[in-house]
Amino acid sequence: MEEEILIKAQDKKNKNEILLYLLNNKGKYVSGEELSEKLNVTRTAIWKHINGFKKLGYEIDSVPRLGYCLKSSPDILYPEEIWKDEELKFLGNKIYYYESIGSTNEKAKILAINGEPHGTLILSEKQTMGKGRMGRKWESPKNEGIWLSIILRPNLSPEEAPKITLVAAVACARAIRKLGINCAIKWPNDILYEEKKLAGILTEISAEIDRINHVIVGVGINVNTKKFTGELESIATSLYLIKEEPVDRKKILIDFLKEFEYFYSKLEKGNFQDVLKEWKALNCTIGRNVKIIGKTKEIEGIAFDIDGFGALLIRKNDGSVERILSGDVSLR
Ligand code: ADP
């Protein structure tokens, strides 16, 4: 079933200053007067907004004469939670935030065709038809992970698009490693922990022969999933299962976005070597015996490197080298 519940679609420049003020003064009382003067809004408007935030799950105390105090935030990826961090330059300048959606990548494609700008973020608490590669399904249960897509309009040739997958993988692995989790990148698009899948990346591109129209980078990170069932039980894991405690999704999300901007800017400046270097340091594919199952053939050999375009280089048993652009890799 594909249900779509949009909570809000907004530009960063129209962010809700009242919520931001409360977030930045968490645990402190701020008076209605102070809010009203600083933000140039009426007391009635403030009261209305506060009620709206409470409905979203923000715990806000209101005490006569003292004012409002934000006690706790709900575990939701509400756009202001991202905007309160002022370091991001282009990612999330516009955010579409859903409670539920079919697939963030599918939505991003439509929005990109409609002209939404570079850096637009599509976030959902849940996907009912989350996608993996080749039409496979990505399980995205409500509030358990980070399910997002980014619209990019890079100045790259279509053959360079795989570089963006590497940027996303590096950003994702680095954000997770900040928690002290030794995850690794499996070429081309998975983040593994002890051989189990913790996160996946799905890059989709719309291009002409010589230029890219847009790229959609989809990212799914299993954060607080307590139990996987069926086939996932043996192949998937989550940050919760590794840390044995709940993990703050907002922090991982913001760290990921920052890392993504950092490495994406290297790519934009023609400094892809730095991305490659980091990717190589974080990967668990190079040096391994692998079997690649492609659309038309299977290849076995040693994955000995990736090239400047992000293609995997395999040395087969007969000594010949194959350059792999896509396919399913099983590590031996
Ligand atoms: P891969 O790159 O590993 O071939 P895909 O990118 O195609 O995988 O992702 C889809 C596959 O990932 C599914 O077929 C399923 O086996 C697995 N999968 C689905 N949902 C999840 C999840 N939340 N966490 C980990 N693995 C998942």
Q: What is the mean pLDDT of residues 305-314?
A: 94
Residue 164: C-alpha distances to residues 203, 218, 330 (Å): 8, 11, 22
Which residues does a 6 A CB cutoff place in the pocket of ligand 1?
A: 132-134, 136-139, 189-190, 197, 200, 202, 220, 222, 231-232, 235-236, 328
Choose which residue among 134, 136, 142, 231 to substitute to test ligand 1 binding: the one with the highest number of ligand atoms within 8 A of its C-beta.
136
Which amino acid, one-letter code, is at 98? Y
Q: What is the mean pLDDT of residues 202-215?
A: 94
CA of 130 to the centre of ligand 1 (A): 10
Pick the atom of ligand 1 nearest to 133's CA: 7
Choose which residue among 103, 131, 139 to substitute to test ligand 1 binding: the one with the highest number of ligand atoms within 8 A of its C-beta.
139
User: What pLDDT does residue 7 have?
Assistant: 96
Range list of H helices, 101-178? 104-113, 162-177
Share of the chain above pLDDT 70, in %: 99
- Tell me the per-residue pLDDT of 60-89, one tens digit each, with 9 for 90 and over: 999 999 999 999 999 999 999 999 988 999
- Tell me the per-residue pLDDT of 105-120, one tens digit each, with 9 for 90 and over: 999 999 999 999 999 9
pTM over 0.85: yes
What gap in Å lies between CA 103 and CA 222, rounded to an integer? 16
What gap in Å lies between CA 299 and CA 324, rounded to an integer? 9
Q: Are 94 and 46 in contact (CB under 8 A)?
A: no
CA nearest ligand 1 atom 24, residue = 236
CA of 332 to the centre of ligand 1 (A): 19
Pick the atom of ligand 1 nearest to 202's CA: 6
What gap in Å lies between CA 58 and CA 73, rounded to an integer? 5
Residue 304: C-alpha distances to residues 259, 273, 311, 312, 320 (Å): 26, 17, 11, 8, 12
User: What pLDDT does residue 327 have?
Assistant: 82
- Tell me the per-residue pLDDT of 227-280, one tens digit each, with 9 for 90 and over: 999 999 999 999 999 999 999 999 999 999 999 999 999 999 999 999 999 999
Q: Residue 1 pLDDT > 70, yes or no?
A: no
What is the spatial order of strands in the sheet that 321-324 belongs to? 321-324, 312-316, 298-306, 289-293, 328-331
For residue 188, cis peptide bond before it (omega within 30 degrees of 0)? yes
Pick the atom of ligand 1 nearest to 188's CA: 2
